């Protein structure tokens, strides 16, 4: 289900770098309407390593459960993703379908099933049309479909209005390294893991345990720092794959190796870009909102307050209505469940102080704040005046469009 392109969408899909060893192929297997790609197969070289972060939902899909089992190998030869059907809450048939899909892809790629990662996205509770998927796998994997990053990003879309991609080039030990990623997500977006699908590829020569150590903290700062509607999906998957085609002068065995500084920064940039694109494509969204909480005792407190603000329907509808109603931010701070002393709290909107020391700032003029609220990117800042920890999360406004999209989702 794809509607008119979101107003916050980037102007175009990026020119993705060539990553030796990564082949992305997509095609139609029969889940979606005819002509709409609904299956992505990525093939990787024998040396490829992998790391993954997955939803902690108690109703996680069979694909997530499969990835939980195979991630311990930290190897990957393939990735298969279907859209239009989440294969979640489908019992034993759903679990069998995941294994059969992995086996079908493994047979084509010449690898073991546990070297194939599986992901699904779409409607929950409906049986996966396994025969159609298994039948389509050989032709798509052999190049019978469409190749390239943009086609791959389109194949995994559901209510998304635009394909999401991001890339960067950096270096390790003076050798060029490329990073490219695709993602999908528009609704059912809240952190835990990141309530979406994201797949990032690099030719860096990194073992699986290093990828894993890199991915965890970066996921927390990017995909785990976004929310559209506070609803956590059953299918969230963020995977990082390395083909190892660009070796360093000497092997890198630890994520804190100083030679990874530029790579880590570039990887975080790609992941943050994808995360913000998901928020920009939030169902019905017209404004991107950055919520920053500073001066907390600990980061967990800062994140709790930031998400309390970002998930508040009253705050989000005020943003949609371009209403500089900062009292709703006060409300959200107070209900966050962390220790807060009102007389120390400060609030700014668009960098303009509106409240400080437990009350409105002297001589407050709402006009410049109201002007900021009319823009497409809104900044909300809160100081708790209690410490040095901070956190930033991204959200969007809540409009009539969100209701329309979700009321009509299966129509």
pLDDT in tens, 148-177: 899 999 999 988 999 999 999 999 999 999
Reading the chain (411 residues) residue by residue, the pLDDT tens digits are 446 899 999 999 999 999 999 999 999 999 988 889 999 999 999 999 999 999 888 899 999 999 999 999 999 999 999 999 999 999 999 999 999 999 999 999 999 999 999 999 998 999 999 999 999 999 999 875 567 899 999 999 988 999 999 999 999 999 999 999 999 987 655 544 334 899 999 999 999 999 999 999 999 999 999 987 665 566 789 999 999 999 999 999 999 999 999 999 999 999 999 999 999 998 889 999 999 999 999 999 999 999 999 999 999 999 999 999 999 999 999 999 999 999 999 999 999 999 999 999 999 999 999 999 999 999 999 999 999 999 999 999 999 988 887 776 554
Cα–Cα distance between 117 and 96 in angstroms, integer?
15
- Residue 191 is predicted with a pLDDT of 46
- Residue 193 is predicted with a pLDDT of 35
Please name the fold of domain 288-407.
Ubiquitin-like (UB roll) (3.10.20)
- Residue 402 is predicted with a pLDDT of 82
Query: Which sequence positions are flagged as catalytic?
Result: 195
In Å, what is the CA distance from 272 to each residue of 9, 81, 349, 358?
A: 15, 22, 22, 33
- Residue 232 is predicted with a pLDDT of 58
Where do the domains of the chain lie? 23-280, 288-407
Q: Under CATH, which number does the domain 23-280 receive?
A: 3.60.70.12
Residues 158 and 84: beta-carbon distance below 8 Å: yes
- Per-residue pLDDT tens digits for 55-96: 888 899 999 999 999 999 999 999 999 999 999 999 999 999
- Per-residue pLDDT tens digits for 208-232: 999 999 999 999 999 999 987 665 5
Cα–Cα distance between 279 and 10 in angstroms, integer?
12
- Residue 192 is predicted with a pLDDT of 43
């Amino acid at each position: 289900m794809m509607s008119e392109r979101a107003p916050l969408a980037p102007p175009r899909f990026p020119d993705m770098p060539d990553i030796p060893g990564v082949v992305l192929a997509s095609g139609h297997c029969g889940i979606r309407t005819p002509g709409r790609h609904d299956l992505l197969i990525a093939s990787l070289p024998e040396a490829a390593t992998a790391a993954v972060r997955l939803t902690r939902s108690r109703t996680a899909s069979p694909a997530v459960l499969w990835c939980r089992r195979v991630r311990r190998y930290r190897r990957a030869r393939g990735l298969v993703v279907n859209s239009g059907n989440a294969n979640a809450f489908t019992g034993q048939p759903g679990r069998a379908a995941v294994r059969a899909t992995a086996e079908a892809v493994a047979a084509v790629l010449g690898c073991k099933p546990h070297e194939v990662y599986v992901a699904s996205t779409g409607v929950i509770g409906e049986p996966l049309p396994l025969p159609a998927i298994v039948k389509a796998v050989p032709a798509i994997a052999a190049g019978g479909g469409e190749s390239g990053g943009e086609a791959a990003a389109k194949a995994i879309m559901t209510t998304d209005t635009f394909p999401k991609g991001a890339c960067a080039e950096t270096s390790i030990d003076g050798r060029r390294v490329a990073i490219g990623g695709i993602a999908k997500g528009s609704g059912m977006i809240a952190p835990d893991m990141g309530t979406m699908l994201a797949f990032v590829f690099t030719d860096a020569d990194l073992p699986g345990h290093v990828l894993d150590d890199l991915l965890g903290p970066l996921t927390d700062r990017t995909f785990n720092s976004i929310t559209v509607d506070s609803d956590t999906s059953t299918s969230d998957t963020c995977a990082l794959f390395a083909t190892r085609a660009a070796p360093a002068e000497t092997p890198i065995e630890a994520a804190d190796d100083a030679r990874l500084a530029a790579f880590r920064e570039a990887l975080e940039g790609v992941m943050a870009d994808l995360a913000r694109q998901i928020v920009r494509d939030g169902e019905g969204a017209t404004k991107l909102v950055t919520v920053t909480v500073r001066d907390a005792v600990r980061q967990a407190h800062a994140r709790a307050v930031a998400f309390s603000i970002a998930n508040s329907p009253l705050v989000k509808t005020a943003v949609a209505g371009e209403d500089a109603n900062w009292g709703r931010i006060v409300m959200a701070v107070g209900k966050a469940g962390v220790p807060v002393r009102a007389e120390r709290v400060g609030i700014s909107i668009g960098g303009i102080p509106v409240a400080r020391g437990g009350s409105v700032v002297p001589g407050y003029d709402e006009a410049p704040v109201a002007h900021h609220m009319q823009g497409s990117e809104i900044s909300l800042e809160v100081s708790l005046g209690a410490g040095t920890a901070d956190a930033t999360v991204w959200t969007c406004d809540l409009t009539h469009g969100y209701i329309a999209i979700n009321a009509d989702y299966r129509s």
